[in-house]
Amino acid sequence: MQYKNLGRSGLRVSQLSYGAWVTFGNQLDVKEAKALLQACRDAGVNFFDNAEVYANGRAEEIMGQAIRDLGWRRSDVVISTKLFWGGQGPNDKGPSRKHIVEGLKGSLKRLDMVDVRTAQFNIILSETVGRYREDES
């Protein structure tokens, strides 16, 4: 497997990643997810993708459980997840500070992770940063 730098984050990620979009939670359970994730690792994949909206959060839960069951060290993999379409409530989606903070906490809990190594915002950054600055005063 070949690896590339992930922007200027200092992270080295495999050129191929495995995503849980249409599989985890909709078609596969933890047992099958473990087999797929292990096959990816055996091929050198260290970059795994998810989102809070995939299977209404179930995909993150399955990936987190599978990684925990496989006994992987957190430092050996890079897991990305995306926030935006989090739920039905008026503040459960979108780029608001409230949703970013609460959505990230929810994703970390579902993935059974305790930290964020890097964050990437694919939205109008000036609006988002402005929202954070407003809350700091």
Residue in 68, 23, 62, 67 with CA at minimum distance from that of residue 45: 67
Token pair, residue 104, equals 């990230």
Number of Cβ atoms within 10 Å of the Cβ of 125: 10
Show pLDDT as tens, one digit a residue, over the chain (137 residues). Answer: 999 998 888 889 999 999 998 788 878 899 999 999 999 999 999 999 998 888 888 999 999 999 999 999 988 999 888 887 777 788 778 878 888 888 888 888 888 876 665 555 555 455 555 555 554 54
Q: How far is CA 63 from CA 25, 35, 47, 55, 88, in A?
A: 9, 11, 12, 12, 23
pLDDT at 48: 94
pTM across the whole model: 0.79
Specify the amino acid at residue 72. W
Residues labelled catalytic: 54
Q: Please give the sequence-ordered ranges of beta strands (E in DSSP) within the chain, or none if there are none.
A: 3-5, 12-14, 18-19, 47-49, 78-80
User: Position 105: which residue type?
Assistant: K
Q: What is the pLDDT of residue 137?
A: 46
Return the pLDDT at 87.
72
